[in-house]
Amino acid sequence: MSNKDLPLVISAPEPRTLELIFTPPQLARFRAKYRVVETTADGVAGLPADVLARARYIVGQPPIAPGTLDAMQALRCVFNVESNLLDNMPYETLFARGIHVVTTGLVFADPVAELGLAMALNLARGIVDADLAFRQGKELWGGDGNLTARLLSGADVGIVGFGDLGRALNRLLSGFRTRTRVFDPWLPPSILIDNGVEPASLDEVLSRSDFVFVVASVTSENQGFLGADAFAKMRKGAAFILLSRAGVVDFPALMAAVKSGHIVAASDVFPEEPLAPDHPVRTLPGFLRSAHRAGALDIAFKRMGDMVLEDMDLIDRGLPPLRSKRAERETVSRMRSKPVDRN
């Protein structure tokens, strides 16, 4: 079979690259099995008519106008390897035509959950501050260095959102024997109970937790929904760990709650990235910072390649994709997450 006879894939994975998401053997297999047409996201609409007509798959989430989609009569699946669903293609038409839209965000669940656990342990035990004090010759020994320390083991924990990341986090927390309450308005209580957590209202999660993990995606309904009132409801000294998107939080209100000493906080995400050099959160005591690096591990990116290849193989055989997560007709238009600016 000549290369022109192979199933055609339009590759526009920015901000990722094929070399990032595939190992060399995976990439060789990908190129051997498919005719890969590489372009930019904005370049998809300008591809030759025969390329659009024959495209079976898209790797990426380029903007797709209705007219461009009409020309893609062989399209079976859009593999979103950025993993934030943007409102830049006619989803209703895609679903009506039976075209899958899938994301590979599951690969980030374990890495982000692990960093979130590390952040919680640090806020509980002051590990970073103790190390910095040691370097400056100002360390406090024994109990003098534990005046604000506490245990995660047996603590009351709240989780806001219970998708892939929330479930990965819950698996890690199970070893700490926490009492975990979850608020997720998109899930029925039985799913939460089956995962060993207690369904709870947002107020209950905030007011009854020693540690609150926020792992909810940004939607049209929850932008900035965690503000001053929410932080005021938290227990004094409780830890707030933000792992999903900064858009769900009123960030100035979060900083004010930390500055007042009411809570401590940690975040891997910020309203603007990269963060301005003079942003006040950089020097805020009681706030642990991480530069959107929780999920950006090479092993996670390479797992994307596995997911894409395995799901393409299933679809090639007339079966549905199973490794990647399918976008849902009822919720895809509500997503408001921003894509990452860099790898």
Rounded CA-CA distance 218/258 in Å is 22
Q: How confident is the model at residue 11 (pLDDT cuts 50, 70, 90)?
A: very high
Token pair belonging to 157: 């924990």
Question: What mean pLDDT comes out for the span 211-228?
Answer: 83
Q: Is 161 exposed, middle or buried (0-12, 13-18, 19+ CB in 10 A)?
A: buried
At residue 341, the pLDDT reads 46
Q: What was the pLDDT predicted at 222?
A: 67
**Residue ranges covered by each domain of the chain:** 6-103+296-332, 107-287
Band of the pLDDT at 261, cuts 50, 70, 90? very high
Could you say which architecture CATH assigns to the domain 6-103+296-332? 3-Layer(aba) Sandwich (3.40)
Contacts with 27 (C-beta within 8 Å, 6 or more apart), sequence order:
18, 19, 305
> Which whole number is the average pLDDT over 130-148?
95
Q: Do domains 6-103+296-332 and 107-287 have the same CATH topology?
A: yes
Task: State the average pLDDT over residues 94-102.
Answer: 96
CA–CA distance, 85 with 87 (Å, rounded to integer): 7
pLDDT in tens, 284-318: 999 999 999 999 999 999 999 999 999 999 999 99
Of residues 218, 265, 264, 268, the one with CA closest to residue 243? 268
pLDDT above 80: residue 228: yes
CATH of 107-287, one of 3.30.930.10, 3.80.10.10, 3.40.50.300, 3.40.50.720: 3.40.50.720
Q: What is the mean pLDDT of residues 22-37?
A: 97
Mean local confidence (pLDDT), 272-278: 94
- Measured from the Cβ of residue 107, the count of other Cβ atoms closer than 10 Å reads 26
Q: What is the pLDDT of residue 342?
A: 44
Instruction: Calculate the average pLDDT of the chain.
Output: 93
Instruction: Find the range with the poorest average confidence among 27-41, 68-82, 158-172, 329-343.
Output: 329-343
- Residue 272: its pLDDT value, please? 92
Instruction: Classify 21 as helix, strand or coil.
Output: helix
Helix (H, G, I), strand (E, B) or coil at 256: helix
Over residues 92-97, mean pLDDT: 95
